[in-house]
């Protein structure tokens, strides 16, 4: 199946670790022989709690086998890969009670962590979000998937939300600065690192999403190779990293607005990266959006919200 057809059917961006490729590799290696069931990790944990095997919608969409049109596993994709059809059951939505553990109801949350995180953001208007951690998940809620050629070329994803579509892209995050800290100043506090980066006058940037930064032997050497001119001090590397992240956010938001056909005036940032006031400042300057930084555990809050709504229903 050509990727253009695959994207039209699923709307899922290419990631080499997507479930669809893992399962096909399992098939080629003979690991699916005799297998009776297929559960994602959250579903397995709930199975251990209540003995019920469930297939939750938001997590399933990320794997690359769910139809963007029907919201169920796409039989044409399953058949094209020759995967055992009995492994793929009807999908259940967040808020569904599936069983009980010692008298306590077991309820599906959005079992994909970003699905719950987006539910946990207290938005007062429709706006893009960044779930900022090791990686940055940047997206916006849309009524339906956007699976056109422009979205495919820019490698945007359409993942299940709680009553909406998450038009979203995985981009670089705090991985850059975490690795730099390990090499350059492992004992330094983050407050001092960020303050020194803010005081630096090093203005060069890199393409934060370049493959060279995904798993380099040395993050410092990866920066040196990309810059062509070696920064003078550790603070220069960190300033470059933060500035480069902000520029990558601007590029992604520009793509988002073009593809969604809508302009936004604000940007919500949640998660650990939301604590970084300097990066938030750079992001606001780069994107021209009002940054609303909420350094909260949005995934946990979204999980709780879904469970509370299920109790009230």
Q: How far apart are CA 200 and CA 37, in angstroms?
A: 55
Q: How far apart are CA 77 and CA 2, in angstroms?
A: 11
Residue 37 appears among annotated catalytic residues: no
Do β-strands 135-142 and 129-132 pair in parallel, antiparallel, or remain unpaired?
antiparallel
Q: Looking only at Cα atoms, what is the longest distance across the chain?
A: 64
Tokens of 51: 């003995």
Q: What are phi and psi of 246, to 5 degrees?
A: -60, -40
Check if the beta carbon of residue 306 is closer than 8 Å to that of residue 107: yes
Q: How far apart are CA 28 and CA 127, in angstroms?
A: 43
Active-site residue, selected from the candidate residues 113, 148, 207, 224: 113
Burial 111-136 (b: 16+ CB within 10 A, else e): bbbbbbbbbbbeeeeebbbbbbbeeb
CB-side exposure of 124: number of CA atoms within 13 Å?
Answer: 1
- As annotated, the active-site residues are 113
């Amino acid at each position: 199946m050509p990727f253009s057809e695959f994207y039209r059917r699923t709307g899922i961006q290419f990631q080499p670790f997507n479930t669809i490729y893992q399962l096909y590799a399992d098939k080629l290696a003979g690991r699916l022989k005799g297998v009776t069931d297929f559960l994602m990790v959250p579903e397995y944990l709930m199975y251990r709690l209540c003995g019920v095997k469930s297939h939750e919608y938001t997590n399933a969409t990320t794997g690359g086998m769910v139809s963007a049109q029907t919201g169920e596993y796409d039989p044409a994709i399953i058949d094209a890969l020759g995967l055992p059809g009995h492994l793929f059951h009807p999908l259940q939505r967040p808020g569904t009670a599936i069983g009980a553990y010692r008298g306590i109801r077991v309820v599906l949350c959005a079992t994909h962590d970003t699905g719950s995180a987006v539910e946990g953001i207290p938005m007062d208007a429709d706006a893009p979000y960044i779930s900022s951690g090791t990686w940055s998940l940047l997206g916006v809620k849309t009524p339906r998937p956007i699976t056109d050629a422009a979205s495919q070329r820019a490698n945007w994803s359409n993942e299940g939300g709680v009553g909406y579509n998450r038009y979203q892209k995985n981009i670089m995050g705090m991985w850059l600065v975490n690795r730099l800290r390990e090499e350059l100043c492992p004992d330094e506090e983050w407050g001092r690192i960020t303050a020194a980066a803010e005081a630096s006058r090093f203005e060069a940037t890199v393409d934060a999403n370049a493959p060279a930064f995904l798993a380099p032997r040395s993050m410092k050497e990866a920066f040196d190779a990309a810059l062509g001119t070696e920064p003078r001090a550790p603070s220069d590397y960190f300033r470059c990293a933060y500035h480069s992240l902000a520029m990558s956010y601007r590029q992604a938001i520009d793509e988002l607005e073009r593809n969604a056909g809508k302009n936004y005036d604000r940007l919500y940032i949640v998660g650990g990266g939301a604590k970084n006031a300097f990066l938030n400042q750079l992001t606001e300057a780069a994107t021209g959006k009002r940054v609303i930084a909420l350094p909260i555990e949005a995934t946990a809050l979204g999980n709780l919200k879904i469970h509370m709504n299920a109790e009230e229903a």
